[in-house]
Chains A and B, each alone.
Chain A
Amino acid sequence: MNKPIKATIIHLIVALLITTALIGVIYLLFGREVDTALILANKITVDIENKKEEVVTINTTKKTLETYPEYGTKYADIEIPAIDVNLPVYYGEDLQTLKKGVGHSSGSYFPGEGGSIVYMGHNFAGFFRRFGELEIGDSIKITTNYGVYNYRIYDLKLINETNVNAIPIQHDEEILMIFTCYPFNNVGYASQRYVVYAEVVEE
C-alpha cells in the first residue's frame, strides 16, 4: 500500500481510538446523568403509531380493574330513561372530552370497583338539560364492555362549584355521582352544580 495512505489510515485509527477513549471517559464520569437525561427525554414521548388499544377488564373478586381505559377514550354508555338520555362515557374530565359525551373524573373509581364514581356532563339539550326532571327512585344504567351496572337515584343536590365535599371519593360503597352546571338555561359562567346521587341495584 502507498506509504502516505498507510500512514493516514493509521492516524485515522488513532483519532478514532482517542474518540472511543473520550466517550469511555465521559461515560465513566457522567454515564448516570446522561442516562437519566435521556430517560427523562423519553418520558415526554408518545408513540401514536404503535399504540395498542387496551381492552378494559375487571377482576370481580378483587373488585378492581385489571386494565384501564386510556384518558379521553370511550369505555361505557349511560342510559337515564326518565329523561331520555343515552350517551357515551369517556374517561377524562377536560373540556375536550366533555364535548364528546359524559366525562368520568380520573380521580374516581370505575363501575364495579365498589367506590365513588364521578361523572359529569354539559347541561345543553341532548345532554343533561333535563336533569331537573329527575326524581328519587329513577334508574340509571351503565353498560361497559366488562359488565352492565344498574343504579337507583337516592338523592339530588344543588351545590357550589367549589364544594368538593359534596362529591366525596371513598371506597366503602359504590356510589354514582353525576353532576352538571346549574342553572340549566344559564347564560355565561355557571358557578353552581346539580348533583345526582345513585346507589347500586343488586341483581
Chain B
Amino acid sequence: MGKVIDILRWICAIILAIGIIVLGLAQIVSSTIFSKRYVLSKFEETDYYINTYSQVNSDFENYIYQSGLNKGIIENLVTPEDIKEDTEIIISNIYDGKNAKIDLDKVKDRLRSNIQRNITEKNIWVRSQETIEKYVEVVSEQYNDSILHTDIEEKLFNGIEKAHTLVSKLTTISASMIGITTIIILTTCIKKYWRNMVMLGIPLVTSGAFYVFMQLYIKYRVDIKNIMILSEAITYTIRTIIFNILDIINVSGIIMAIIGFSLILTGNIIRANKHKHRN
C-alpha cells in the first residue's frame, strides 16, 4: 500500500510541476502581451511616440520632392500627442474590439493650409486644384500607414480574443491540477510533513529549471536584438517587450527554484533531526 501511495505522490509531483509551468506562463502572458495597459506602458517606456513622430516626419519628407513645393508644407502636420492619441485608438481596436477610425481630417486640414500659405508666399501658379487634393489624400494615407493603422486590426482582435479564451481555459485547468495534486500530496502523508515539503519542493525546482532553460533556449535560437518589424519605433518596442517577458520568465524560474530548494533542504533537515531524536 505504502509503495502505491509513493508512486501516486510522485505522479502528483510531476502533474504539479506541469500545472505550475502552465499556470505561470498563462499568468505571464495575461499580464504582458494580453494586457492593454502593459503594452501602452511599453510604448511610453520605449519613447514609441517620439520615435514614430520622427518616422512620420521622415515619411512625409519623401513626398516633398514630387510636390513642387518647399519643406514648410509638412511642418506641424502631426504632433507626438496626436500620434499618442491615434496609437491608443489602434490599441483599443486591437484589444477591446472597437472599430474606431483615425481622424485624418486634422492632417488634411493642416496640410491644405500649409500648401495654400506656401503657394501664396511664393506666388506659385497652380495648374489644377485637383492635383493638390490628390496630394493631400496621398500624404494623409501615408500617415495612416506610418502609425500602422491597418485593416488587420479586426483580425488581430479576433486572434487575441481566441488566445485569451485559450489562456483562461489553461489557467482554470492548471489551477485545478495544482489544487488537486497539492491536496493529494498533503493528505497522503499528514504526519510526516517534512516529506510533503520535499514533495512540493521538487515540482517547484522542476518548474524553475524549466523556465530558466526555456528562456535561455529562446535567446539562443532567436536573434532577438536583430528582429526588424515594420518601423524602427515598433521594432524597438517589440524587442523590449520580448526581452522583458523573457526576463520575467527567468526571474520567476529563479524564484521558484530557490523556494523549491529551500523547501527540499528544510524538509530534509527536519527529517534528519527527527531521525536523530528517534535514535
Contact = CB atoms under 8 A, between A and B. Distances in A.
| Chain B binds chain A | yes
Interface in B215-272: 218, 221-224, 226-229, 260-261, 264-265, 268-269, 271-272
A15 B256 CA distance: 12
A191 B222 contact: no
Contacts of B275: 3
B142 to A, nearest CB: 9
Nearest to B205: A15
B126 interface: yes
B17 A18 contact: yes
B186 interface: no
Nearest to B130: A188
B210 A189 contact: no
B205 A41 contact: no
Given A186-B127, A187-B127, A14 B135 contact: no
Given A11-B268, A18-B17, A188 B202 contact: no
A187 to B, nearest CB: 4
B135 to A, nearest CB: 4
B216 to A, nearest CB: 12
A83 interface: no
Q: Main SS of the interface on chain B?
A: helix
Contacts of A136: none
Interface stretch (A53-61, A93-101, A166-174): A93-101
A11 B203 CA distance: 10
A124 interface: yes
A161 B187 CA distance: 79
Contacts of B89: none
Interface string A82-119: 00000000000001101100000000000000000000
Interface string A175-203: 00000010101111111000000000000
13 contacts: A7-B272, A11-B202, A11-B264, A11-B268, A15-B201, A18-B203, A45-B222, A48-B226, A122-B66, A188-B132, A189-B134, A189-B135, A189-B138
Interface of B: 13-14, 17-18, 21, 59, 61-63, 65-69, 115, 119, 124-128, 130-135, 137-138, 198, 201-203, 205-206, 209-210, 213, 218, 221-224, 226-229, 260-261, 264-265, 268-269, 271-272, 275
